[in-house]
Amino acid sequence: ETMAETEKILKENKIPYEINMLSAHRNPDEVRKYAKGAEKRGVKILICGAGMAAALAGVVSSHTVLPVIGVPIETKSLKGMDSLLSTVQMPGGVPVACMAIGKAGAKNAAIFAIRILKTFR
């Protein structure tokens, strides 16, 4: 539901995109393969939405040279603060651009990605 905001903005702006449901904790090998192969598939930017122990954006970033945008998903227990801190607090050398928690962050992720793409057109 949250990431539908990202999809809506990308569609409205005719930006091609892929959607995958992957978990850094449940299927780390698939995440690694996806991130490593993204550039060869023509992907320019990766947007990762994750909640709770939101390691996805950081794990993806560690396996690619492409820009990674993290969207912390709101959670019931901590209102998304857990997701936010897990997304924003990356070690040096693992860059992730972190957006706001929830739907606003998902919308901003798409807008930010479009701005990056337009910079290089």
Per-residue pLDDT tens digits for 64-73: 999 999 999 9
CATH code for residues 4-13+45-119: 3.40.50.1970
- Distance separating alpha carbons of residues 8 and 110, to the nearest angstrom: 9
Where are the chain's structural domains? 4-13+45-119
Who contacts 93 (Cβ-Cβ below 8 Å, separation ≥6)? none
Its pTM stands at: 0.96
> What's the Cα-to-Cα distance from 79 to each of 73, 76, 85, rounded to whole Å?
9, 5, 12
Report the pLDDT value the prediction gives residue 80, as an integer from 0 to 100. 95
| CB-based contact 60:68 (threshold 8 Å) | yes
Closest CA to 56 of 98, 15, 118: 98
